[in-house]
Amino acid sequence: MSLFPIPKLADLLEDPGKASSLPAEAIPELRGQLAKLDTLLLCRLLGANSNGNPSTPAGRNLGVKEASQKIGVSQDWLYRKAGELPFTVRIGRRLLFSEAGIEKYVRQRTGR
Q: Where are the domains of the chain?
A: 1-45, 56-112
Average pLDDT, the chain: 81
What is the structure's pLDDT at 50?
A: 46
* Other Cβ atoms within 10 Å of 43 Cβ, number: 20
Are 58 and 100 a contacting pair, CB within 8 Å? yes
**Enclosing H/E stretch for 65:** helix 64-71
Residue range 78-97, pLDDT digits in tens: 999 998 999 998 888 889 99
- Please state which CATH number belongs to domain 56-112: 1.10.1660
Give the predicted TM-score (pTM) of the model. Answer: 0.48
Local confidence band at 19 (pLDDT 50, 70, 90 cut-offs): confident
Angle between helices 64-71 and 99-110 (to 10 degrees): 20
Bigger pLDDT: 32 vs 43: 32
**Enclosing H/E stretch for 59:** none
- Three-state SS for 95? strand
The residues, any chain, with a CB within 8 Å of residue 23's CB and separated by 6 or more, are 4
What is the structure's pLDDT at 35?
A: 83
